[in-house]
């Protein structure tokens, strides 16, 4: 039934139709505002694509998990807030993709699945499609890092899409993530930047070019051996990057307030994600900051109901480990 739906746009449209029927509502843009409906559409889309892949390999499709006797419950657990620029939609899309590929026998449902490069490439590609259902468009950055893990440099519309980098001093850099509690839509934020670009292409292109230069220079900085020099150089680049984002108009007064609070304890910071609220990203560089003052600051944020957490700069990537087989 699904094999005749050839391109991914048609599959997305068909998935939305099925989900609209399931929830007994006509398809319209407001459906994108419902997390449960959007999540269901992602699952339906991925199931269709996965069954197409399976039918391409084997004409006698067999899905033992979907034999009419089993009930499948998909439970999502996360220790980070969603919708605030941390890539939660990318993480969900990657996890959902890997799950559906397993359930449809595209990959072996074994105790521990060691995912190889070819499998990761497929997961990343399908997850990027799934993210388009959530946001309308997706650069592929979040789904890529959630699939492969590690530390990468991602360049949209270039081949290769990303470059894995080995940071010799990654232990000297920690990330402090602070949620401003200012909710925003990624797709709407991207639209605002696009509108600004249409108004003044020269200015916006210049900002993007300088941000690109900063990225290249930061890669070199992170591989230096002098921790003090890493701290000084990174601080300058992070501060400059934030100024450029403010020029672009994507920062927020609450974000700026948190950035100033972090500056007082020696931690450079910037907005993350699409901006316009969401999270602030502070860089704990191992020197030049007061740990006791930072702990006091985090405690004060908690009293203001601001979520904050310190984490590593390296991601884990998609993993599978079954405790039920």
The CATH code of the domain that includes 38 is 3.30.230.10
Last residue of a domain, one of 148, 175, 191: 148
Q: How confident is the model at residue 135 (pLDDT cuts 50, 70, 90)?
A: confident
Do residues 139 and 47 both lie within one domain? yes
Q: How confident is the model at residue 325 (pLDDT cuts 50, 70, 90)?
A: very low
Partnered with residue 152 across adjacent β-strands are: 164
Q: Please give the torsion angle defined by the CA atoms of residues 223, 229, 231 and 237, in that order, rounded to the nearest 10 degrees.
A: -80
In-domain check, residue 155: no
Do residues 60 and 179 both lie within one domain? no
Do residues 260 and 295 both lie within one domain? yes
Do residues 179 and 144 both lie within one domain? no
Cα–Cα distance for residue pair 111/108, rounded to 1 Å = 9
Q: Where are the alpha helices (DSSP H) in the chain?
A: 8-22, 35-57, 88-103, 117-135, 141-148, 186-199, 201-222, 227-248, 253-264, 291-303
What is the model's pLDDT at position 143? Answer: 92
Last residue of a domain, one of 148, 180, 198: 148
Assess contact for 291 and 301: CB atoms under 8 A: no
What is the model's pLDDT at position 111? Answer: 63
Do residues 188 and 89 both lie within one domain? no
In-domain check, residue 162: no
Q: Which helix (H) or strand (E) holds 176?
A: strand 174-179
Q: What is the pLDDT of residues 210-239, one digit of tens each?
A: 999 998 898 888 777 677 777 888 899 999
Residue 43: CA count within 13 A, CB half-sphere: 15
Number of domains composing the chain: 2
CATH number at residue 282: 3.30.70.890
In-domain check, residue 323: no
Q: How does DSSP classify residue 315? A: B
Do residues 112 and 72 both lie within one domain? yes
Tell me the three state secondary structure of residue 142: helix
Do residues 82 and 182 both lie within one domain? no
Cα–Cα distance for residue pair 152/54, rounded to 1 Å = 31
Q: Is the pLDDT of residue 1 over 60?
A: no
In-domain check, residue 95: yes
Do residues 121 and 19 both lie within one domain? yes
Do residues 244 and 307 both lie within one domain? yes
Assess contact for 285 and 235: CB atoms under 8 A: yes
Do residues 105 and 235 both lie within one domain? no
Partnered with residue 284 across adjacent β-strands are: 174
- Supply the range of the domain harboring residue 60: 8-148
Q: What is the pLDDT of residues 258-283, one digit of tens each?
A: 999 999 888 999 998 778 888 999 99
Q: Is the pLDDT of residue 304 over 80?
A: yes
In-domain check, residue 318: no
Q: Please give the torsion angle defined by the CA atoms of residues 122, 123, 127 and 130, in that order, rounded to the nearest 10 degrees.
A: 70
What is the model's pLDDT at position 56? Answer: 60
Cα–Cα distance for residue pair 36/291, rounded to 1 Å = 40
Q: What's the full length of the chain, in residues?
A: 325
Tell me the three state secondary structure of residue 163: strand
Q: Is the pLDDT of residue 198 over 50?
A: yes
What phi, psi does 311 have (nearest 5°)? -145, 175
Classify each residue of 198-208 as buried b or exposed e, where b means 16 or more C-beta atoms within 10 Å of its C-beta.
eeeeeebeebe
Lowest mean pLDDT across 52-66, 123-137, 184-198:
52-66
Assess contact for 215 and 238: CB atoms under 8 A: no
What is the model's pLDDT at position 7? Answer: 66
Do residues 78 and 144 both lie within one domain? yes
Last residue of a domain, one of 93, 114, 148: 148
In-domain check, residue 322: no
Average pLDDT over residues 105-111: 76
In-domain check, residue 317: no
In-domain check, residue 159: no
Assess contact for 102 and 113: CB atoms under 8 A: yes
Do residues 117 and 171 both lie within one domain? no
């Amino acid at each position: 039934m699904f094999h005749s739906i050839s391109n991914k746009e048609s599959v997305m449209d068909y998935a939305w139709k099925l989900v609209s029927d399931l929830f007994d509502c006509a398809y319209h843009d407001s459906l994108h505002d419902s997390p449960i409906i959007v999540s269901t559409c992602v699952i339906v889309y991925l199931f269709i694509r996965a069954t197409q892949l399976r039918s391409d390999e084997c004409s006698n499709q067999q899905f033992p998990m979907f034999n009419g006797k089993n009930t499948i419950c998909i439970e999502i657990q996360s220790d980070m807030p969603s919708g605030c620029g941390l890539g939660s939609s990318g993480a969900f899309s990657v996890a959902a993709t890997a799950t559906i590929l397993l359930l449809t026998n595209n990959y072996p449902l074994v105790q521990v699945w060691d995912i190889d490069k070819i499998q990761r490439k497929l997961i990343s590609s399908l997850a990027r499609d799934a993210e388009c259902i959530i946001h309308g468009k997706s650069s592929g950055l979040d789904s890529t890092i959630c699939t492969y893990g590690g530390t990468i440099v991602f360049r949209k519309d270039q081949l290769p899409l990303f470059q894995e980098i080995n940071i010799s001093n990654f232990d000297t850099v920690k990330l402090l993530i602070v949620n401003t509690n200012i909710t925003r839509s990624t797709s709407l934020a991207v639209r605002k930047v696009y509108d600004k670009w249409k108004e003044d292409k020269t200015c916006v292109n210049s900002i993007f070019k300088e941000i690109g230069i900063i990225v290249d220079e930061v890669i070199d900085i992170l591989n230096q051996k002098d921790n003090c020099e890493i701290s000084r150089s990174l601080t300058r680049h992070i501060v400059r990057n934030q100024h450029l984002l403010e020029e672009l108009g994507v920062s927020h007064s609450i974000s700026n307030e948190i950035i100033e609070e972090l500056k007082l304890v020696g931690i450079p910071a910037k907005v993350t994600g699409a901006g316009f609220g969401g999270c602030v990203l502070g860089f704990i560089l191992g020197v030049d900051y007061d740990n006791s003052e930072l702990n006091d600051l985090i405690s004060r944020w908690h009293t203001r109901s601001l979520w904050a957490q310190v984490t590593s700069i390296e991601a884990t990537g998609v993993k599978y480990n079954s405790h039920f087989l």
